[in-house]
């Protein structure tokens, strides 16, 4: 996108992906962008679900700074919504695919044990 092109607002859910090479391995980055406000929070399940939970590397919450008075409330809402979807996906995985759930749990434990305090 050039500087002369206007930025388009995301309405509903947008999906993009790109392929790259890392350590001689093909890596696919998938990106979901949700725009349109709190009424669309349930659309998070398209990106955060039992099938995808083991591959999620990060979640980025972007706030609308044109309305700075709403930023804290909005951040807390979206943190809660993301956490709810992650918890639900992990619970569903625990109830249906316990081996995959244990693998993700071990992976998370190993990660947090490596983070310096």
**SS3 of 37-57:** CHHHHHHHHHCCCCCCHHHCC
Per-residue pLDDT at 2 exceeds 70? no
Phi, psi of 18 (to 5 degrees): -150, 150
b/e burial code for range 99-110 (CB count within 10 A of at least 16 → b): eebeebeeeeee
Phi, psi of 101 (to 5 degrees): -60, -45
DSSP type of residue 3: T
| Across 97-116, average pLDDT | 84
Q: Please tell me the pTM assigned to this model.
A: 0.74
Phi, psi of 75 (to 5 degrees): -60, -45
pLDDT tens profile 79-88: 999 999 989 9
């Amino acid at each position: 996108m050039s500087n002369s092109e206007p930025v388009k607002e995301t309405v509903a859910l947008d999906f993009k992906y790109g392929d790259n090479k890392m350590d001689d391995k093909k890596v696919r980055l998938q990106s979901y962008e949700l725009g349109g406000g709190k009424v669309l929070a349930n659309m998070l399940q398209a990106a955060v679900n039992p099938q995808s939970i083991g591959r999620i590397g990060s979640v980025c919450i972007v706030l609308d700074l044109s309305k700075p008075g709403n930023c804290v409330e909005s951040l807390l809402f979206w943190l809660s919504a993301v956490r709810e979807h992650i918890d639900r996906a992990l619970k569903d995985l625990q109830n249906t695919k316990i081996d995959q759930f244990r693998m993700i749990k071990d992976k998370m434990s190993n990660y947090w044990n490596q983070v310096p305090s």
